[in-house]
Amino acid sequence: MAGGGGGDEVRSGAVRATLAEVAEAAEVSISTVSKVLNGRPGVSDERRAHIERLLQEQGYNRRTATQATMSLIDVLVFEIDSTWAVELIAGVERIAREHGLGVVVSGTLDRTQADPRWLDAVLGRRPVGVLLIGVQLPEAPRGVLQSRQIPVVTIDQGGHARPTEHSVGSADWTGALHATRHLLGLGHRRIGIITGPDDMIASVARLSGFRAALEGAGVELPADYLRRGEFHHRDGLEQGTALLQLPEPPTAIFASNDLQALGVYEAARSLGIRIPEDLSVVGYDDLKAASWVAPALTTIRVPLAEMAEQATRLLVRLRDEPGFAVSHIDLATSLVVRGSTAPPRD
Amino acid sequence: MAGGGGGDEVRSGAVRATLAEVAEAAEVSISTVSKVLNGRPGVSDERRAHIERLLQEQGYNRRTATQATMSLIDVLVFEIDSTWAVELIAGVERIAREHGLGVVVSGTLDRTQADPRWLDAVLGRRPVGVLLIGVQLPEAPRGVLQSRQIPVVTIDQGGHARPTEHSVGSADWTGALHATRHLLGLGHRRIGIITGPDDMIASVARLSGFRAALEGAGVELPADYLRRGEFHHRDGLEQGTALLQLPEPPTAIFASNDLQALGVYEAARSLGIRIPEDLSVVGYDDLKAASWVAPALTTIRVPLAEMAEQATRLLVRLRDEPGFAVSHIDLATSLVVRGSTAPPRD
């Protein structure tokens, strides 16, 4: 686990000298000092405190410690404080820990660019691999990572999935198809949609699945029933308000994520429209909050924890088998029916 | 920024040799190869692709790169997927990035212990410092970190704040006092509380502030109006249901965090009790969801982003001034009045 190169012996030598000095001053063996340094048992509390004090006095510090090979995964996350991102980060952290890997988390507010300082930092850290959550890297930094043999796995809700890149996603098209068929099955014919950003493949796939379900049922989508937004609460509020104020408003709204759906809830409340009596709402993701709101939200469950796990395991595999064939994994989504959907009144 | 010790020259030499070989094969200068490696402009796309291919063929990889000094902060987080934790992590990441520091995030489900492998990994990474979020480390790992001169800052909602440790918190006692005075000011006299865990100082301080407000107003706290829980939605649901089913239920409930308060919402809904007409509810934290629920939640705003910033800045300061005096910072909380509180009916 040493850091490679000829420098380790020199540094180890310096470390041993320091440890020997401390051991001599404390009148204990070097192995006792080592126990204290590494928090192992077998040293009395009093002696431990004494040795710790001596280590500090003698300037034993990290700069002289043997440098272990870093075992890190670098994760770049779009909108790191989103509820969606945190469920993915938690999943990555858990699997990485199982493999003895640390997780370095960096945030970005730009979905299509990497801060050059981020790339420099990653090259300095030389991680096992890079995981992109909701971010699409341009060619230049991709080329740099590739030339350093740092593999990249994308959790693909962010960018354009490319045939040459490893990615893990979920069945967005199928999920949206099921959500819309659920509304059609309840008898809805006037169904609006709030989409996510056009440049995110997950948004495009969800809109496409929505359209396919309508077409399969012979139901028209009026132009003003299609509203574009970001994946935020405020987009659900704004676009939901616009939909509900149309001369002939929809009886059901498919929101492209749960945060938008909660925004639609607020739009309906402020207009005195009841869910599900007057309006059915379907979300997407199944965040925890989806089951806490009233009425509880009917939504498509995206297996965020499993996606994070698969992506992390793929990085580990790429470390062990650098030539592993490019793979794209799509995990299944499922419809969770709760209280926000019902047959239309008319 | 070199990694210290005598090894850098050896490794730099090896790197230069590889770069020279690639430069020769590509018939370009070493500086052009370096540009490609570091993603800098000034190389045509075609030539860049060619050089990247050669770098891969010649086995240029991270193990031979110059090892930069690692500039990391290690963050250990209790319940990493909680909404509360993510707002803190986002704040830490932002300030760390400003200082060119990477953030390694580790999760734990035990509030009072560190996984020994976590400590080993931290020692291997030799971070600038350790930040504890909602976690209390035992003496042994603290001693180890201290002997390695790795400073520790606690965001103190987790543990017992100790006089010898750096920490950043918020005014829990005052916040609870204000929340309770708000309920008293509306005319409530039957006020219940759901607390957090007994071993978390934030819980104890909030209960204490609650009691102080009641005592100041000469209002009794019946024993069955005090319910203990964890900081989860389900505790609000369970304990809220218990409170509301008492022979003489409270007209107001102070929940010790927002998740509990949302659980109380669900308890009230399932019992047909209206908020705020039949029951006032106050939460604590002011998570984003607090303003999304109906009615929007009256709560105490904890400045999570500012706490994260202060804690991160303190770590940076401790790196630059290792002898910096032990400090504890408490940031102000504030009452946010929304729709979940109103005068009692009787």
* A98-125 tens-digit pLDDT: 998 999 999 988 888 878 889 989 988 8
Token pair in block for residue B9: 């020259």
| Contact status of A265 with chain B (Cβ, < 8 Å) | yes
What's the gap in Å between the CA of B131 and the closest CA on chain A? 14
Q: What is the pLDDT of residue B26?
A: 85
Q: What is the pLDDT of residue A34?
A: 77
Chain A positions touching B117 (Cβ under 8 A) are 97, 100
Chain B positions touching A78 (Cβ under 8 A) are none
Chain B positions touching A69 (Cβ under 8 A) are 124
Q: Which of residues 80-119 of A touch B (CB under 8 A)?
A: 80-81, 83, 85-87, 89-90, 93-94, 97, 100, 102-107, 115-117, 119
Q: What is the pLDDT of residue A342?
A: 98
Q: What is the pLDDT of residue B113?
A: 81
Name the DSSP class of B70: P
Q: What is the pLDDT of residue A94?
A: 92
**What is the interface pTM, i.e. ipTM, of the complex?**
0.71
Least confident of A54-58, A305-309, B316-320: A54-58
Counting residues of chain A whose pLDDT is more than 70, the rounded percentage is 87
Phi, psi of B281 (to 5 degrees): -130, 130
pLDDT at A19 over 80: no
Other Cβ atoms within 10 Å of B277 Cβ, number: 11
Q: Which of residues 132-191 of B touch A (CB under 8 A)?
A: 140-141, 143-144, 146-150
Query: Confidence band (pLDDT; 50, 70, 90) for A5?
Result: very low
Q: What is the pLDDT of residue A233?
A: 95
| Contact status of A261 with chain B (Cβ, < 8 Å) | no
Indicate the residue of B90, B107, B149 with minimum beta-carbon distance to A90: B107
Strands laid side by side in the A191-195 sheet: A226-228, A191-195, A252-255, A280-285, A298-301, A334-336
Least confident of A54-63, A179-188, B118-127, B305-314: A54-63
Q: Tokens 């959550």 sit at which residue?
A: A133
Summarize chain A as % helix, strand, coil (round to 5). 45, 15, 35
CB A299 within 8 A of CB A334: no
Query: Confidence band (pLDDT; 50, 70, 90) for A70?
Result: low
| Contact status of B318 with chain A (Cβ, < 8 Å) | no
CB contact set of B330 (below 8 Å; sequence gap of 6+)? B168, B169, B170, B171
Overall size of chain A counted in residues: 346
Mean per-residue pLDDT for A170-181? 94
Token pair in block for residue B101: 């520091």
Chain B positions touching A285 (Cβ under 8 A) are none
pLDDT at A330 over 80: yes
Q: What is the pLDDT of residue B163?
A: 66
Q: Which of B248, B242, B266, B134 is nearest to B193 (CA)?
A: B242
* A&B contacts, CB < 8 Å: 233
Indicate the residue of B1, B7, B64 with minimum beta-carbon distance to A7: B7
Q: What is the pLDDT of residue B46?
A: 83
Name the DSSP class of A333: -
- Cα–Cα distances (Å) from A36 to B120, B121, B225, in that order, read 13, 16, 48
Higher pLDDT, B275 or A135: B275
Query: Confidence band (pLDDT; 50, 70, 90) for A160?
Result: low
Amino acid at A129: G
pLDDT at A266 over 70: yes
List domains and CATH numbers for chain B.
Answer: 7-64 (1.10.260), 72-171+304-330 (3.40.50.2300), 172-303 (3.40.50.2300)
Mean per-residue pLDDT for A205-224? 96
Q: Which of residues 193-222 of B touch A (CB under 8 A)?
A: none
Q: In chain B, which residues have pLDDT < 70?
A: 1-18, 38-40, 56-70, 157-163, 346
Write b or e for each residue in B198-218: b if 16 or more Cβ atoms lie within 10 A of its Cβ, otherwise e. Answer: eebbbbbbbbebbbbbbeeee
Q: Tokens 């909030």 sit at which residue?
A: B206
Query: Confidence band (pLDDT; 50, 70, 90) for A16?
Result: very low
Q: What is the pLDDT of residue B56?
A: 67
